[in-house]
Amino acid sequence: MKKICLILLFSFSLFSFAQQSPKEIHDILKYLKEEVQIREDNFYDTAYQYIYQQILEQKGVNQAIWNSYMGNLLSAYLNQNEYRISQRTKIAENIPSDFNTWDIQTLIEQINFHYLKSLENKDLLQKTKVEDFQILLKDADKSVSYRPMVFDMLAHEALAFFSEKRYSM
């Protein structure tokens, strides 16, 4: 079953060299949540690898959105495993590729990195209407009026993390 999930997951990436539509991004996220998360013990590993690949392959607005989702994923991982992570000591100057070995400071730095990276292309994001990406919104009715541009949507996600005092460094 695990192999079938991975084959389906990576079949999505065959089409990812082209810019994805909001519907395609939504379908990938839905698949990760409804299929991979339920059926795999290593959901975070699989989701991390896939989102990381999307960040490398996508450009512009899509890349910004995937960076925000990576911040969300790592933040959820931290929230779920905070006690275990807080027991780890920093072991190297270089960041290990396996996020499961990161100490709490490294993990928070990487979450910050991805949220800030999601806001990097400010001009493009401020010109892109969030209505085009409405399928990705959590609270679609309210979000469009309060956050009309993609930059606003991504900034809102980043600020939600940055405003948590327990993660400030």
Tens-place pLDDT, residues 72-81: 999 999 999 9
Position 32 pLDDT exceeds 70: yes
Q: Indicate if the pLDDT at residue 97 is higher than 90.
A: no
What pLDDT score was predicted for residue 107?
Answer: 94
Domain that holds residue 46: 2-167
pLDDT of residue 147: 84
Give the pLDDT confidence score for residue 25 in this predicted structure. 92
User: Given this model, what pLDDT does residue 10 score?
Assistant: 43
Q: How confident is the model at residue 40 (pLDDT cuts 50, 70, 90)?
A: low
Task: Specify whether the CB–CB gap between 9 and 29 falls below 8 A.
Answer: no
How many domains does one find in the chain? Answer: 1
